Structure 1
Amino acid sequence: MVTAPVQLTDLIVTVAQEHADALARLTAAVELSDQLDELGDHLIGHFVDEARRAGASWTDIGESIGVTKQAAQKRFVPRPSPDLKPNFDRYTDRARRVVVLARHHARFSERIGTEHLLLGLMDESGGLGAKTITRLEAAEGTTRLATLNALDNTSRERPDPQPFSAGCKKALELAVREALRLGHTFVGTEHILLGLLSEEDCTAAKVMATTGITKAAAEAHVVAEFERAVSAPRPAPPGA
């Protein structure tokens, strides 16, 4: 049996130190429990993905987690649909605009794919995701050009509601996982970029591979930018 790295006593102390009132502590404990549940789901999801890459069947995975093959697939295999899970509560304004822009790019398509999400990411040029692409791509504009070339330019009637492709939904799920892994409480454009790069078989990841953008380099740049922002001196208050 694996020993949990987080002990109950540590969680109790954390809540108690941050809140003096008993009811405030209870509310904080519920919120923390929800966060731990989400972390647990992504922990399992991470190792399900690892097992699939190692060649494990869905039958084997289901047996390992105590469910049927069908239940495992229903839980861990994204299906094309207009509904996104998780929702956008923790997304930054820029990250939400990326999804809106992706819808715009997919206006002549039957579904919203990772290629549309990548175009939306680059359109939100002030975000760290777009800046990271600009920093890492082989030459300026090559990623946008390669993405446009990868689009299916056959005009099709857009269904209402328009579904996100399975790959797009998986990339957005991985964006949340990347944020949690980096210890961030929000999902920004940089996490969407890392999510796309983590979904290696999707169109967006394949496009970026051709323009020299790798997951390792993107993560290193994102982490360095956060560290630089934290260490930067704060401006003096007015009158100081």
Structure 2
Amino acid sequence: MFERFTKDARTAVVHAQEEARELMCSSIGPEHVALGVLSAGGPAVQALRAAGADPAALSGRLRQVATGSGLDKEALAALGIDLEEVSRSADTLFGAGALERAGRRRQRRRTGHIPFTGEAKKALELSLREALRTKDKAITDRHVLLGVLRAGGPASDALRADVGEDHVRGALEAEPGAA
């Protein structure tokens, strides 16, 4: 399948591994694949801009998904957990920024090969299906994002958060020169 990837799509996959490594993740998920497309800055990013999406804000949301730092304060409050109170208590007992320091200490930058999750593999397989559906001979970075979008899940939710799925899909499916 990777032999059908264009240079932009291959660059995005390489960047996905770099993003996972930078975020100290043990595997490459769909959020890293989408981050890879965004950091590569190819035609898919231009298409997202044309749809009205903010690539910088999108990157921020995808990083939250990747690191699990996008905690839902309301959901935790429903369980009786006040996230701000927990943070204040930790700061009082262990010093300012104790929770952040503890998280960083346990994580180490990963070297070598980082495996793809099943969800990331599914998104990449769906990028092939998107290319076939649009009768394209090669898989571009646009198809990669369409695969992430089609796969569903938090990375897909982040992609459509700014402008909605129809706008994102429409922009990504448009001819490269039209974006």
TM-score w.r.t. length of structure 1: 0.52
For 1:132, the equivalent position in structure 2 comes to 47
Contact 1:137 1:143 in 2 (8 A): no
After superposition, the Cα gap between the structure-2 partners of 1:161 and 1:140, relative to the gap in structure 1 and judged at 3 Å, is: closer
Question: Displacement of 1:156 after TM fit?
Answer: 4.5
Distance 1:94 1:103 in 2: 15
Gaps of 5+ in 2: 70-102
For 2:100, the equivalent position in structure 1 comes to none
- Report the secondary structure of 1:117's partner residue: helix
Aligned length: 140
Match of 1:97 among 11, 14, 27: 11
CA offset digits 1:173-229 (Å, max 9, x no partner): 00000000000000000000100100112x310212322241x32332234325859
Residue correspondence of structure 1 range 189-208 to structure 2 within 5 A: 189-201=141-153, 203-208=154-159
CA offset digits 1:57-112 (Å, max 9, x no partner): xxxxxxxxxxxxxxxxxxxxxxxxxxxxxx31010011101010000011121101
For 2:56, the equivalent position in structure 1 comes to 141
After superposition, the Cα gap between the structure-2 partners of 1:139 and 1:164, relative to the gap in structure 1 and judged at 3 Å, is: closer
Query: Is 1:123–2:50 an aligned residue pair?
Result: no
Question: Displacement of 1:145 after TM fit?
Answer: 1.8
Query: Is 1:222–2:138 an aligned residue pair?
Result: no
Contact 2:4 2:137 in 1 (8 A): yes
Gaps of 5+ in 1: 1-86, 230-240
- Report the secondary structure of 2:175's partner residue: helix
Query: Is 1:176–2:128 an aligned residue pair?
Result: yes
Residue correspondence of structure 1 range 50-61 to structure 2 within 5 A: none
Contact 1:137 1:213 in 2 (8 A): no
Higher RCO by CA contacts (8 Å cutoff, separation 6 or greater): 2
Letter of the aligned partner of 1:112 in structure 2?
A: I
After superposition, the Cα gap between the structure-2 partners of 1:226 and 1:139, relative to the gap in structure 1 and judged at 3 Å, is: closer
- Report the secondary structure of 1:106's partner residue: helix
Match of 1:114 among 30, 36, 46: 30
Could you say which structure has the larger radius of gyration? 1
Question: Displacement of 1:163 after TM fit?
Answer: 1.2
Larger relative helix fraction:
2
Aligned-pair identity (%): 30
- Report the secondary structure of 2:160's partner residue: helix
Q: CA RMSD in A?
A: 2.3
For 1:162, the equivalent position in structure 2 comes to 114
